[in-house]
């Protein structure tokens, strides 16, 4: 199930394998395919998303980032914490305003962290219901450190 901006949402993107033909409409492709077919993909004038593996920094996208409406951060396993920095860099350094989506092996217990670093969409596994998702965001009321979510920190509230 897709959760976007804290609510269940319809997924309007189709993720397309590297060797599959492109359907009409919004698609998500790998960084590899994007590089190989860059001009064709941009010329479609449809919403475009790319998937970043956990070892692919969004900085590699350069100014092409402006042409993307979605970046999917893939968690190969939940212990791999690089996507947290990728999301943060996308929001804070690269000023990306499109959708950042978490996909793959992430845990309930990582949702609040992901939200803080700038992820606004989640492809939830069946074990995480929308109710649980909402609960994850209420566990810790306040935060000590600034992040991409712009929340007021404890230091600022004192």
Partner 1 sequence: MYRYDEFDARFVAERTEQFRFQVQRRLNGELTEDQFKPLRLMNGLYLQLHAYMLRIAVPYGTLSARQLRKLAEIARKYDKGYGHFTTRQNMQFNWPKLKDVPDILAELATVEMHCIQTSGNCIRNVTADHFAGAAADEIEDPRPVAELIRQWSSLHPEFSFLPRKFKIAVIAAPHDRAALRYHDAAVEIVKNDEGRTGYRVWVGGGMGRTPYLAYVVGDFVEKPDLLGFLEAIMRVYNENGRRDNIFKARIKILAHSIGEDEMRERVLREFQEIKTSGYLQVPDEERARIAAYFAPPDFERLTDEALPTDGDLGRWIVNNVTPHKQPGYAVATISLKPIGGVPGDISADQLDAVAQLMDDFGLTEIRASHEQNLVLPHVRQKDLPAVFARLQVLGLATPNAGLITDIICCPGLDYCDLANARSIPVAQEIAKRFADLDRQEDIGELKIKMSGCINACGHHHAGHIGILGVDKKGVEYYQLLLGGSAAEDASIGEIMGPGFGEHEIADAVERVVDVYLKLRRPGERFLDTYRRLGMEPFKNVAYGEQLHAAH
Q: Find the farthest-apart pair of alpha carbons in the chain and give their distance in angstroms, rounded.
A: 56
Q: Is 36 in the site for partner 1 (CB under 8 A)?
A: no
Helix (H, G, I), strand (E, B) or coil at 17: coil
Q: Closer to partner 1 by CB, 27 or 118: give it.
A: 118
Least distance from C-beta 28 to partner 1, angstroms?
Answer: 23
Q: Contact with partner 1 (CB under 8 A): which of 61, 116, 124, 133?
A: 116
Q: Whose CA is closest to 3, among 139, 117, 137, 93?
A: 137
Ranges within 119-158 binding partner 1 (CB under 8 A): 127, 139-147, 154-155, 157-158
How many angstroms separate the CA atoms of 107 and 105, rounded? 7
82 binds partner 1 (CB under 8 A): yes
- Alpha helices (H) in the chain, listed in sequence order: 31-36, 38-43, 82-88, 111-117, 130-136, 154-157
Which positions lie near partner 1, rule CB under 8 A? 57, 78-82, 84-85, 88, 92-93, 107, 109-110, 112-114, 116-117, 127, 139-147, 154-155, 157-158
């Amino acid at each position: 199930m897709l959760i976007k901006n804290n609510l269940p949402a319809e997924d309007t993107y189709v993720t397309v394998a590297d060797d599959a033909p492109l359907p009409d409409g919004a698609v998500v492709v790998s960084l590899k395919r994007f590089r190989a077919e860059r001009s064709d993909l941009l010329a479609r004038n449809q919403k475009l998303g790319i998937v970043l593996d956990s070892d692919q920094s969004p900085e590699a996208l350069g100014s092409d980032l402006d042409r993307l409406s979605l970046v999917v951060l893939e968690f190969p396993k939940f212990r791999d914490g690089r996507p947290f920095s990728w999301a943060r860099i996308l929001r804070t350094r690269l000023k990306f305003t499109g959708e950042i989506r978490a996909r793959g092996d992430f845990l309930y217990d990582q949702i609040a962290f992901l939200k803080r670093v700038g992820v606004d969409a989640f492809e939830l596994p069946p074990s995480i219901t929308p109710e649980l998702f909402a609960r994850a965001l209420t566990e810790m009321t306040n935060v000590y450190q600034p992040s991409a979510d712009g929340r007021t920190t404890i230091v600022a509230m004192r």
